[in-house]
Structure 1
Amino acid sequence: MQIEYVEAFFLDDHQNELNIVTDEDNIGTYRLYWTYENDVQTTDKHFLLESNQKNIQFNFAYNPDKVNYFIIEFEQHPALLFGYRILPMSGMYNFRDIGGYRTENGRRIKWGVGFRSDHLQNLNEDGFEFLRSLGLKSVIDFRSPLEVEKDPNPFFSDDAQSFNFDPQAHVAMAAGNAQNLDTSEDMKTRALKAIESGETGAQQMVDQQLAFVDSPTSIEAFKQTLKTIAQPSNVPTMQHCRGGKDRTGFALMVLEGLLGVPKPQLVYDYMLTNRARAKKNVSYYNRFLEETGDEKIAQYLYSLFDTKEEFILASIEKILTQYGSIRQYAKEVLSLSDDEIANLEKLFLEED
Structure 2
Amino acid sequence: MKNRYKVEQTKENYFHFYLPISAEEQEIKVFLMKNLHDTQPEFLLSTEKENFDIELKELSYRPYFLIKTNDSQYITAERTLPVEGMNNFRDMGGYETQSGETVKWGKLYRSDHIYNATENGIAYLQTLNIHTILDYRSNVETKKYPNKRIGDQVKTYQIDPSAHAAELAAQFQSSKEDEDANLINEIIEQKEKGTLVDHSNVVLTQYRTFVNKKESKEAFSKMLHVVADPNAPAVVQHCRGGKDRTGFGSMLVLGTLGVKKEDLVEDYLLTAKNRIERNRAKMEGYKKLTSDPVVLDQLYSFIDTKPEFIEESIDTIIGQYGTIENYAKEELQLTEQMVQQMKKMYLE
TM-score, structure 2 normalization: 0.92
CA distance in structure 2 between the partners assigned to 1:6 and 1:287 by the alignment: 38
2:2 counterpart residue number? 3
- Once the 2 structures are TM-superposed, how far is the Cα of residue 61 of structure 1 from its aligned partner? 4.4
Matched residue, 2:236: 238
Aligned to 1:334: 332
Task: Tell me what 1:208 maps to.
Answer: 206
Q: Secondary structure at the match of 2:289?
A: helix
Q: Aligned partners of 1:18, 1:300: CA distance in 2, in Å?
A: 37
Distance 1:281 1:144, change over 3 A: same
1:289-328 to 2 correspondences below 5 Å:
289-328=287-326
By how many angstroms is 1:252 displaced? 0.6
Deviation at 1:82, TM superposition (A): 1.8
**Equivalent-residue separation in structure 2 for 1:339 and 1:211 (angstroms):** 27
Please say if 1:67 is aligned against 2:62. Answer: yes
2:54 matched residue in structure 1: 58
1:184 Cα offset (Å): 4.6
Higher mean C-alpha displacement, 2-11 vs 108-117: 2-11
Q: Please, which runs of 5 or more residues in structure 1 have no aligned partner? A: none
Go from structure 1 to structure 2 and tell me whether the alpha carbon gap of 1:271 and 1:172 turns closer, same or farther (over 3 Å shift): farther
- 2:114 maps to 120
Identical-residue share of aligned pairs (%):
33
TM-score, with normalisation over the residues of structure 1? 0.91
- Give the distance between the partners of 1:172 and 1:70, measured in 2 at CA: 44
2:243 and 2:320 map into 1 onto residues whose CA distance is: 24
The reply on whether 1:20 has 2:19 as its aligned counterpart is: yes
Using the TM superposition, give the Cα deviation of residue 283 of structure 1 relative to its aligned residue in structure 2, in angstroms.
Answer: 2.4
In 2: Cα distance, 1:275 partner to 1:62 partner: 26
Following superposition, the deviation at residue 7 of structure 1 comes to 3.1
Aligned CA RMSD, in angstroms, stands at: 2.2
Change (3 A) 1:168 1:12: same
**Secondary structure of the residue that 1:191 maps to in structure 2?**
helix
Q: 1:334 to 1:134 in 2, by over 3 A?
A: same
Q: Which residue of 1 aligns with 2:137?
A: 143
* CA deviation after TM superposition for structure 1 residue 112, in Å: 0.5
> For residue 186 of structure 2, what is the aligned residue in structure 1?
190
**How much does 1:29 deviate?**
1.4
Q: Deviations over 1:258-313 (max 9, x none)?
A: 11110000000000011212222222223212221222212211210111101000
Cα distance in structure 2, aligned partners of 1:311 and 1:193: 26
Q: Which moved more, 1:318-327 or 1:46-55?
A: 46-55
Distance 2:5 2:27 in 1: 15
**What is the aligned length?**
343
Once residues 75 and 173 of structure 1 are traced to their aligned partners in structure 2, the CA distance between those partners, rounded to angstroms, is 56
Q: Write out per-residue CA displacement over residues 129-157 of structure 1, whole angstroms, 9 at most, x where no aligned residue.
A: 11111111110000011101111222221
Unaligned runs of 5+ in 2: none
Deviation per residue, 1:135-192 (Å, 9 max, x gap):
11110000011101111222221111110010012329829869x7856543222212
Distance 1:194 1:126, change over 3 A: same
Corresponding letter in the other structure for 2:268: Y
Q: For residue 219 of structure 1, what is the aligned residue in structure 2?
A: 217
Displacement, 1:79?
0.8
Describe the superposition over 1:70-114 as per-residue Cα deviations: whole angstroms up to 9, x where unpaired. Answer: 1111124x2111211001111211000000101011100000000
1:282–1:199 Cα change, 3 Å: same
Partner of 1:259: 257
Matched letter for residue 40 of structure 2: D
In structure 1, what residue type is equivalent to 2:217?
I
Q: Which moved further from structure 2: 7-16 or 242-251?
A: 7-16
- Deviation for aligned residue 1:55: 3.6
Can you list the C-alpha shifts for 1:4-34, whole angstroms capped at 9, x where unaligned? 5543211123332223345x62251111121
